[in-house]
Structure 1
Amino acid sequence: MRKILLIVFSFVPFLCFAQNESETMVEGELTATVVNAQTDFPLESVHIINLNKVKGTISNQKGRFTIDAAVNDTLYFSFLGFKSQKVRVTNDMFRYEDTKIALTELAYALEEVIVRPYQLTGYLEIDVKNLPINNAYQYSISGLPTSYEGGSKSPSAVTKVLGAILNPADLLRNLFGKKPRQMRKLRQMKEDDDIRNLLASKFDRETLTELLQLEKVDIEDILNNCNYSRSFINTANDLQILDAISSCYEEYKVLNRK
């Protein structure tokens, strides 16, 4: 009897190890449904991003979505008017296709807004002084379809970060140097159409902070050190911010190698 018990207990660690190993090895297409937490109705056009694989997708009319994932990956759900949510992928989510992800509606308290139109006099010299000035400059390159925000002094691409590289204590080097894994995601993010479409409609930087594991203040510091204007930082959508950070990082790598 004692020998039998010893044999049984000797297999327990191996069984636990095999179970844990199977938990972490499950990978493939994950299908689930996104619903409204209050009504249980399906939510269409919810953006879902796998933060680990940097892949995105959108829920259909029935709230269903399919995305490449593995156990322990983190999915990020974002939808206008609802609280963004992160969900850790489990083994059960692969076993059962009736998994529901519930998003909670946001309650906004609208404050009184006073619209103050510009008081124009009809005299050009006076009216020009009363209009706000946008200090953001853009430069374009012949043959390229888009223009680029270059900051208040509109420097060249090399000049824009050369000062930062020459200063070893600069925050730009500290951020890029300490977060190489996050910065390597930039190219993947730019190649995924679903992620780009999501970022083009966002202005709150929340999705970017989740993808890059940066704080909002870090994003502002990066753009400031890359000489982007305050006007651009305040008004650009998240896709434009992504392109700006990516451009600055590519220039940083080139100059840092030198």
Structure 2
Amino acid sequence: MRHILILLFCLLTAHSYGQETQDQTEPTRVTGTIISTTTNGPLSEVNIVNINQVIGTSTNDDGVFEIRANANDTLHLSYLGYKSIKVRVTNDWIKFGNTKIEMTELALALEEVTVKKLQLTGYLKVDMAQVPIQSNERYRISGLPGQGYEARRPNVASKVLGAIFNPADFLYNMFGKKPNEMKKLRKMKEDDEIRNTLAKRYDREMLMVLLQVNKFDLDEIVNQCNYSKDFINTANDLQILDAISQCYEEYKVISRSKNRKKGNKS
């Protein structure tokens, strides 16, 4: 009888351990409902991104979303006309399930725009100096077939090459000192939900949040990668993502080549 009890105890222990192991391997998911503080109604098509795991989703018609997340992950919520917010995933949220999240509407105001007209003098040399000169060439970004974009030169490697050999260069500081953030580029490109969201946005907000850079630095990365001001001003967020990703891949190739040369000399 004692042997039978011992056998049953071992079986129960093994089953319990196996269940715990299975629970640990299964991805944790959280569910939430996003409502407007103005209408108290649900908000559909709200963009939700898990900053830590670089995955995205959006709310359905009832304002409900579900996303993979672990405790202490941060979710970034954004919606047109509403203030973007960050929400921390807690153990209580995971344990008790759906939670309500409120988003506040923004007051939108149009800024006054001043259009500067060309004031012609009648002197050809003076008037020609007032006309902006664009020396951009069209090229294609990988991942976006059939579309052309502007750049000062099709080959961005020369800019990146200068960044590698000049430690004070902006690109060196951004790419070399932010390896964890730059690694998110590939994950962002692989997530269909994030790519679809970025293709419809022009505010750079999601890119700034995921890469942990401000608006100036983000634009400067693209500028230093030899993309034109026209491209920076007109590209959507997905095009900016692909541009930075292409430049970063160039950076890694040249950086590895430089390190190998150093190793051969030593």
Q: Report if TM-score (shorter chain) is over 0.5.
A: yes
User: Quick check: 2:49–2:57 contact (8 Å CA) kept in 1?
Assistant: yes
The superposition leaves residues 66-91 of structure 1 with CA deviations (integer Å, 9 ceiling, x where unpaired) of 10000100000011111111000011
User: Quick check: 2:139–2:151 contact (8 Å CA) kept in 1?
Assistant: no
Aligned to 1:32: 32
Matches within 5 A, 1:24-173: 28-111=28-111, 135-140=135-140, 145-147=145-147, 149=149, 151-152=151-152, 154-173=153-172
Question: Is the aligned partner of 1:245 residue 2:244?
Answer: yes
User: Quick check: 2:43–2:61 contact (8 Å CA) kept in 1?
Assistant: yes
User: Quick check: 1:149–1:228 contact (8 Å CA) kept in 2?
Assistant: no
Once residues 161 and 242 of structure 1 are traced to their aligned partners in structure 2, the CA distance between those partners, rounded to angstroms, is 17
Structure 1 stretch displaced more, 233-242 or 164-173: 164-173
Question: Is the aligned partner of 1:197 residue 2:196?
Answer: yes
C-alpha deviation, 1:113, in angstroms? 6.2
Instruction: Count the aligned residue pairs.
Output: 222
CA RMSD of aligned residues (A): 2.8
Distance 1:115 1:176, change over 3 A: closer
Structure 1 stretch displaced more, 70-79 or 221-230: 221-230
Once residues 113 and 166 of structure 2 are traced to their aligned partners in structure 1, the CA distance between those partners, rounded to angstroms, is 45
Once residues 112 and 216 of structure 2 are traced to their aligned partners in structure 1, the CA distance between those partners, rounded to angstroms, is 28
SS in 2 for 1:234: helix
Matches within 5 A, 1:203-214: 203-214=202-213
Structure 1, unmatched stretches of 5+, are 1-24, 118-129
Once residues 167 and 146 of structure 2 are traced to their aligned partners in structure 1, the CA distance between those partners, rounded to angstroms, is 33
Structure 2, unmatched stretches of 5+, are 1-24, 118-129, 258-266
Superposition TM-score, scaled by structure 1 size: 0.77
User: Quick check: 2:83–2:103 contact (8 Å CA) kept in 1?
Assistant: yes
Q: Percent identity?
A: 56
User: Quick check: 1:33–1:64 contact (8 Å CA) kept in 2?
Assistant: yes
Opposite residue 203 of structure 1, the aligned amino acid is Y
Matches within 5 A, 1:1-12: none
Once residues 113 and 250 of structure 1 are traced to their aligned partners in structure 2, the CA distance between those partners, rounded to angstroms, is 38
